[in-house]
Amino acid sequence: MNGDLTMESISDQLLRLLGKPENAPEFQELLEEIGDAPRTSDLGQDREYGFDAYGFGLRYDTEQEAFWLVTFEFGVEIVKSASVKPFVGALPMGLTQVDSKRDIESKLGVQPIRQQRISKRFERAIFNLPPHRLDCLFDSSTFSGLAVHLLSVRDSLGGE
């Protein structure tokens, strides 16, 4: 990683990209500071930018011309398979990789707007933090965090 970018500050920088276009100066600065070209994938209406060496990614809505999703991966299968390094920086909003659902509720001061058991092992909780949503994946047996996804509420972008 080049420049002044630190893993401690990157989550806030990524959060500021939500709702902005690909040609935003903030995105161009991020690309320059990281130095490594991201893995890109076209996923229908979305374009994914994977910064696999750093454990985070971005989704870009090509129709709305705005970034709408930031992912921080640190305990999911893709990380365990070694195709993506775990994110080791500070998460936004004072969250940490070891926070439980209860810890996140306490730190944010809100209850999830939706919770669901994805499988016997995984639980998901979504928190509404306008203009964003926080989507967290937890290990049901330990209640510790596995992944954090920050979403720009697509309604505010004119989409879903």
> Hey, what domains does the chain have and what are their CATH numbers?
7-155 (3.40.33.10)
E-strand spans in the chain?
A: 39-43, 46-51, 56-61, 66-73, 114-117, 122-129, 132-139, 145-152
Mean pLDDT along residues 87-108: 84
pTM of the model: 0.78
What does the pLDDT read at residue 145? Answer: 62
**Residue 29 Cα to chain centre, angstroms:** 19
- For the segment 63-85, what is each residue's pLDDT rounded down to a tens digit? 999 999 998 876 655 445 557 78
- How far CA 39 is from CA of 27, 80, 136, in Å, comes to 15, 18, 23
